[in-house]
Amino acid sequence: MSTRHQYYNQENLFFITTTTKDWINIFKIDSCKKVIVDSLKFCITKYTVDILAYVLMPNHIHMILYFKKDTKLSDFMRDFKKFTSRNIRLELQKANYLDILKLLEFQKGEQTYKVWQDRYDAKIIKGNDMLLTKINYIHNNPVKNGLVQKVEDWTSSSAGFYNGMECELPIKNAGEIM
């Protein structure tokens, strides 16, 4: 993959990480993983965003997002986390995952469950070298964590896309963004 001669508006290209409460392995559950994928599909359309790379790990997500219009990262993340929190809780209740629901209990005002840590990390990507470093970091995350032997074996990742395979999310090739 090459990103040579590509220029990005640095205020619109982000490396993002968000983590589940207490690093609970919620995304090992297929129905919860589907909530994440469906919500990302919705949010990238609503906010006119390209996903250049992502990995959905059992308890966190890494993404590179390129906002083609005004930067609305905080709105994107607010909507994404609010929708997924509610729907993951519903999926866990429907499938009777009482042990995980117990771990997610959280009492603050009317809130009784907490799926995500309050914050998310967002770093502006400055230049193609940093972009390639972050894409490689994202794709190697499942290998580094001992979940697979090769990056393309982790199906909840854009690594397969960059190796000519199908991907569960629409990916914009980092070499095509202008």
Residue-level pLDDT, tens digit, the chain, 178 residues: 333 334 445 568 999 999 999 999 999 999 999 999 999 999 999 999 999 999 999 999 999 999 987 768 999 999 999 999 999 999 999 999 999 999 998 878 887 899 999 999 999 999 889 999 999 999 999 999 999 999 999 999 999 999 888 889 999 887 765 3
Question: Does 174 map to a domain?
Answer: no
Question: Does 124 map to a domain?
Answer: yes
Cβ-contact 133, 40 below 8 angstroms? no
| CATH code, 125 | 3.30.70.1290
* Model pTM score: 0.89
Q: Phi, psi at residue 13, to the nearest 5°?
A: -120, 120
Q: What sign has the CA pseudo-torsion 163, 166, 168, 174?
A: positive
In the chain, how many domains are there? 1
Question: Does 136 map to a domain?
Answer: yes
Cβ-contact 43, 76 below 8 angstroms? yes
- Structural domain including 133 reads 13-162
Question: Does 107 map to a domain?
Answer: yes
- Do the bridges between strand 121-124 and strand 13-19 make them parallel or antiparallel, or are there none, so unpaired? antiparallel
Q: What sign has the CA pseudo-torsion 82, 45, 91, 27?
A: negative
CA 165 from chain centre, in angstroms, equals: 19
